[in-house]
Homo-oligomer: A and B are copies of this chain.
Amino acid sequence: MAEACASPTPAPSVGGGSLLIAWQLKDKHVLIVGGGEVASQRVESVLTADALITILSPAKGLHARTKQFIDTYPTRITYYDRRFSGAAEIHKMDMVLTALDDVNRSREICEMCRKAKVPVNAADIPDLCDFYFGAQIRDGPLQIMISTNGNGPRMAALMKKRLQDALSGKEGEAIERVGVLRAQLKDRASGVGGALGRKRMKWMSEVCNTWEVDELTQLDDTIITKLLDEGWEKNAVPTLDQLTGRQTRNITRPFQSHAFPQWLPVIASFALGAACTTLALLSRKR
C-alpha cells in the first residue's frame, strides 16, 4: 500500500530538495551500461527491487562483485560481453543506469533515454540524471534512504551510521510480524474502507504504539491468534505481558526501568560511609 506522508503541517523549508520515492521494479527491465564498482552497486540496488537486469560491459571491465552477481543470479541477470551499441538497446527498457568512465558516451545514452522517455541515471553526471541514489539502510521490509542532495556523500554515510546506531536491528522483523498480524486481521474482519476499515486501522495503530519493537518480533501464530481473540474481538489492546503472563517489559527495556533509580547508589554510599565511620569510632571506644 502507498504509505502516507506523515507530516501534518507545511514543511518549514520548502524547495531545494528532491522527491524521495520507492520505485517499483518487480520484473521490470533495467539496463546497466558498465561493469565496474559503481555498476556493481547499481546491480545490488535493482536486485533488491526484483528487477530483470541486462548488463553491457566488456569482460575485462567487470568488477569482482559484478561478476559475483552475474554468477549468483543467472535468472535475474543477462550479461553481454560487449559495449552499448545504440538506441535499439533501450527500447524495451523500463530504466537505464550508466556507470561508465566515458562521460561523452554517458551523455549520448542519456539523450537517447530522454527521447524514449526511459528514466535514466548517469553515475557522477548529476545534470543528466532523472534521479539520484543515496546512502541506504535495509532490514528486511524496512528500507531507509538518506540523501544530502549533493552536499557530499561522506555526510550521507555519517548520517547512515548515526541512524543505524539508533536502530536495534530487530525493526525489520517487527515490521514483518506486524504485516502478518495485519493480514490475519483483514482475513478475520474483511472489507475495504468504511467504518470497519477505520476501526481496523485504529486498532493496528494502537498495537504498534503500545507494543515495543522487541515485543512485536514475538508475534508468532499463537500470540497473533491470542491477540485477535483477546484484543480485536473484545475491542481492547492487551499487552504482551497480559497475553503470555510473562514479565517481558523489564527484560526488553532495561534502561527505562525505574526499579533501580540513579540516586540509589549515592544514598547507599552515604549510609555506608556513615555506618563504617560509626563502627570504626565505636570499635576504637571499646
Instruction: Please report A residues at the B interface, Cβ cutoff 8 Å.
Output: 1-7, 10-11, 13-25, 38, 41-42, 44-51, 65, 68-69, 72-73, 116-119, 121-126, 129-136, 138, 140-160, 162-163, 165-167, 171, 174-176, 178-179, 182, 201, 204-205, 208-209, 265-267, 269-278, 281
Q: Which of A21, A45, A144, A201 gathers most chain B CB within 10 Å?
A: A21
In the complex, how many angstroms separate the beta carbon of A211 from the nearest chain B beta carbon? 10
Beyond known contacts A1-B150, A155-B208: 5 more, CB 8 A cutoff? A14-B73, A16-B141, A17-B48, A23-B131, A152-B179
A125 → B minimal CB distance (Å)? 8
* Residue ID in chain B nearest A282 by CB atoms: B281
Q: How far is the CB of A118 from chain B (nearest CB, A)?
A: 8
Least Cβ–Cβ distance between A266 and chain B, in angstroms: 5
In the assembled complex, which residues on chain B have CB atoms less than 8 Å from the CB atom of A204? 152, 154
**Closest CB-CB distance, A36 to chain B, in whole Å?**
12
